[in-house]
A = this chain, B = another copy of it.
Amino acid sequence: MNPVSTPTPTSATVGPTSAGHSTASTGEGNSKTCDEALAQAFTFLGKRWNGVILGTLTNGASGFAELRRNVTGISDSVLSERLSELQTAGLIVRAVEPGPPISVSYQLSDAGTALVPAMHALSVWAAKHFPGPGDRTP
């Protein structure tokens, strides 16, 4: 399980939550490993920026530069890489408008959109347990 490599959707050894590690759950008796599906979810969500990018796209389609501005702190190169990965994984869709000026927009795919309720649950949890950016009283 090496998430360092681009989470190639083809490999079972992807992400911090690679299926590889999940498959090591032995299956019998001692079943204290992470749920495989959850591990799979964290193939993407456990990778820096993906969660925030997807969260940002819940507001609607955005272009590269717009995302760059709205996902504060992300670099061009990482954003480009993440968008490519998320697209390959089928979580977002990239649409090109060809006529001058050419423009590109990214939006959540059906799969990405299906993730929104879970993301909302995370948001609700965080709002409760991280009351303020500087308030650490979980």
Contact = CB atoms under 8 A, between A and B. Distances in A.
Which of A18, A91, A109, A126 has the largest count of B CB atoms less than 10 A from its CB? A126
A1 B70 CA distance: 13
B48 A3 contact: yes
A39 B71 CA distance: 10
Interface in A20-42: 20-25, 30-42
Contacts of A41: 51, 122-123, 125-126, 130
Interface residues of A, number: 76
Contacts of A134: 10, 12, 19
Contacts of A1: 72-73
A60 interface: yes
A56 B34 contact: yes
Interface in A87-138: 89-91, 109-111, 114-115, 117-119, 121-130, 133-134, 136-138
A5 interface: no
Contacts of A19: 133-134
A4 B9 CA distance: 26
Contact of A34 (B23, B70, B130): B70
Given A42-B51, A48-B46, A138 B111 contact: yes
